[in-house]
Amino acid sequence: MQRLDEAKRTAILQAAKQRLSQYGVRKTTMQEIAEDAGIAVGTLYLYFKNKNEILIATAEAYTQQHIADSEKILRDPIPAPEKLKAYLINRFRAVRENRLSGSHAAELARAVIRLKPELQEKQGKAVKDNLSSILQEGVRANLFRIDRPEQDLEVFLYSIGYFFPLPTSEKYYEPSEEKLLLVVDWFIKQWSRK
Amino acid sequence: MQRLDEAKRTAILQAAKQRLSQYGVRKTTMQEIAEDAGIAVGTLYLYFKNKNEILIATAEAYTQQHIADSEKILRDPIPAPEKLKAYLINRFRAVRENRLSGSHAAELARAVIRLKPELQEKQGKAVKDNLSSILQEGVRANLFRIDRPEQDLEVFLYSIGYFFPLPTSEKYYEPSEEKLLLVVDWFIKQWSRK
């Protein structure tokens, strides 16, 4: 049996993601994905049984990227307010890139939720945990004064929700990074008040 | 010529709103709207030339209701924090009722925006003006301490956006009134700090 190669797998996922977001699941064939990835379709089947498996794998790769990005930002020795902004800018750009990846991006997101609903929940929980740990870091360093961190975190999550439109919903507005920072800076100011 | 009657016009709009949100614009006929309103189709044409005119009139009636509700709440001699909550609960319920009025609610909203885009802008501006006047009232009464009211209002508007999903977008979540109040109370607490 042919050995599976991590770099080849990544190349397949990248090619598949691009074609699927541009043409949608139904109009994309395994043959086309193989061609885009520069491999024979027989080889493609060694990696993935069908389009749904590929779709789930692209979503999992997205989650892995979030974990890698977050770990790097959370480890960075910068003050909590800067870390909070760096983390949210990273998320904002990742979500936007995903949303704008093609005219079928919303359809793909809906398909992934149907195939593997727990992925979206995990994603939401990871964001919440990361933000919570940044707020706690700020409190420990005496940069943030927060009486009820859990409540503040909940309010904060609602307040930035506008800037992270659900990937499943069709586009009706494009949120601005500048306005997200306005909101985040406002919260930082509240949390920094003596 | 038959005299036009305001009560009859209202009855037509109510009947039309209900049928259009349930069956959509394309599948609804002038004949059906007339039947639902209990009038002859010839009479219906005295009031409205076509379905689009009816659609715009239902959207205008919604705006009129907002104006009437807001004037009542803004005149009410209650402290600004209570007034803020009363106003937002009223808006939350009106928007929800509209959103849940039928499976074609999103389609209708999109049609109205296409036919008369300025209505949505006016609606957004009215909310902003009303909230601004409530905040100013709070500042004058020394109940709110707000250094930069315009910036706080902008942040606040983004923060409650999650609870007012665009009527044009398909439903993917149903926001909770209780959580809206959690967010509003949190802002009130910040604004009330000495």
A170 touches chain B (CB under 8 A): yes
Say which DSSP state A148 is in.
Answer: -
For residue A160, list chain B residues with Cβ-Cβ distance below 8 A.
158
Domain count, chain A: 1
Q: Rounded to a whole number, what is the distance in Å from the CA of B169 to chain A's nearest CA?
A: 7
Q: Give the domain CATH number at A117.
A: 1.10.357.10
The span from the CA of B109 to the CA of B99, in Å, is: 9
Contacts of A169 in chain B (CB under 8 A): 169-170, 172
For residue B56, tell me if it sits in a domain.
yes
A160-192 residues labelled b (16+ CB within 10 A) or e (exposed): bbbbbbbbbbeeeeebeeeebbebbebbbebbe
* Mean pLDDT of the region B40-58: 96
* CA gap B102, B104 in Å, rounded: 5
Does residue B41 sit within a domain? Answer: no
Q: In whole angstroms, what is the distance from residue B21 CA to residue B5 CA?
A: 24
Give whole-number Cα distances, A104 to A21, A49, A101, A109, A110, in Å. Answer: 5, 22, 8, 9, 10
Pairwise CB contact (< 8 Å): A158 & B159: yes
- Tens of pLDDT along chain A (194 residues) come to 456 888 999 999 999 999 999 999 999 999 999 999 999 999 999 999 999 999 999 999 999 999 999 999 999 999 999 999 999 999 999 999 988 888 898 889 889 999 999 998 999 999 999 999 999 999 999 999 999 999 999 999 999 999 998 777 666 788 999 999 999 999 999 999 87
Q: Which two tokens stand for residue A136?
A: 């706690």
CA distance A131 to A43: 41
- Would you call B151 an interface residue with chain A, using a CB distance cutoff of 8 Å? yes
What is the DSSP track for A30-69? HHHHHHHHTS-HHHHHHH-SSHHHHHHHHHHHHHHHHHHH
In Å, how far is A28's CA from the nearest CA of chain B?
Answer: 25
User: Which residue range is the domain that position B61 belongs to?
Assistant: 52-192
Is the CA virtual torsion A30, A35, A38, A41 positive or negative?
A: positive
B3 in any annotated domain: no
3-state DSSP percent of chain A in helix, strand and coil, to 5? 75, 0, 25
Q: Which residue of B has its CA nearest to A148?
A: B186
Write the CA distances from A130 to A3, A69, A85, A125, A188, integer angstroms.
37, 11, 12, 9, 16
Q: Please report the residues numbered 61 through 90 in chain B whose beta carbons come closer than 8 angstroms to any beta carbon of chain A.
A: none
Query: Is residue B39 situated within a structural domain?
Result: no
Asked if A152 has any chain B CB less than 8 Å from its own CB, the reply is yes
Query: What pLDDT shows up at residue A168?
Result: 75
Residue B160 — very low, low, confident or very high, per pLDDT cuts 50/70/90?
Answer: very high
Asked if residue A114 is part of any domain, the answer here is yes
Instruction: Inspect the interface and report whether the beta carbons of B172 and A172 lie closer than 8 Å.
Output: no
**Which of A166, A168, A183 is closest, CB to CB, to B159?**
A183
Q: Which residues of A71-87 are buried (b: 16+ CB within 10 A; e: fewer)?
A: eebeeeeeebbebbbbb
Classify residue A120: in a domain, yes or no: yes
- Asked if residue A71 belongs to a domain, the reply is yes
Question: Which residue in B158, B162, B183 is closest to A183 by CB distance?
Answer: B158
Higher pLDDT, A188 or B167: A188
Identify the residue whose tokens are 């044409």.
B45
Reading the block at residue A31, the tokens are 């043959």
Is residue B40 in some structural domain?
Answer: no
Interface touch B155/A190, C-beta < 8 Å: no
CB B103 within 8 A of CB B22: yes
Chain A with chain B: Cβ pairs closer than 8 A: 53
**Nearest residue of B to residue A171, measured between CA atoms:** B169
> Which of B158, B181, B183 has the highest number of chain A CBs within 10 A, making it the mutation to test binding with A?
B158
Distance from CA of A170 to the nearest CA of B (A): 7
pLDDT at A167: 75
3-state per-residue secondary structure call for chain B: CCCCCHHHHHHHHHHHHHHHHHHCCCCCCHHHHHHHHCCCHHHHHHHCCCHHHHHHHHHHHHHHHHHHHHHHHHHCCCCHHHHHHHHHHHHHHHHHHHHCCCCCHHHHHHHHHHHCCHHHHHHHHHHHHHHHHHHHHHHHCCCCCCCCHHHHHHHHHHHHHCCCCCCCCCCCCCCCHHHHHHHHHHHHHHHHCC
- Closest residue in A to B175 (Cα) is A158
Q: Is A18 helix (H, G, I), strand (E, B) or coil?
A: helix
Q: How many CB atoms lie within 10 A of CB B4?
A: 10
Across the range B166-192, mean pLDDT stands at: 89
Nearest to B161 among A152, A162, A182 (CB): A162
